[in-house]
Amino acid sequence: MKRSQIVQQVFPSALSQKLKVDRDALAPNRSYGVPKFVERGYYEDMPFVCKDCGVIQVWRNTQQKWWYEVMKGDIWTIAVRCRPCRTQERDRKATARQIHLAGLKAKDGKRDRTED
């Protein structure tokens, strides 16, 4: 099944206007090739399946323009997680970082006490 057919089935009104790509606003790139959206000259809504929960989502052309041109995201990246799963993954990483740093702090505290 083609991407546009999936979008039409899941989100009947999802196919929106095309947004033009501003090549000068894209982040510098040292690749020999160009992604399809740059070659096409416009962003189009792109469906994807969330890699965590499996829900079909649409990465809107406005979101792509923001990611590539405003945030200067790498032009070879695409959306892989839905918003709730992105939030959950961000929280998981923050918690893991806190645990890691607490472990380092405890390890340094033990080292200081043994050196005395």
Q: What is the pLDDT of residues 47-70, one digit of tens each?
A: 999 999 999 999 999 999 999 999
CA–CA distances in Å: residue 18 to residues 37, 59, 64: 11, 13, 11
User: Would you state the pLDDT for residue 108?
Assistant: 86
Q: Where are the alpha helices (DSSP H) in the chain?
A: 3-10, 36-40, 61-65, 83-115
Owner of token pair 């505290």: 109
Task: Quote the CA–CA distance of 9 and 39 in Å, as a whole number.
Answer: 27
Q: What is the pLDDT of residues 3-37, one digit of tens each?
A: 556 556 655 555 567 899 999 999 998 889 999 99
User: Would you state the pLDDT for residue 80?
Assistant: 96
Residue ranges per structural domain of the chain = 3-81, 84-116
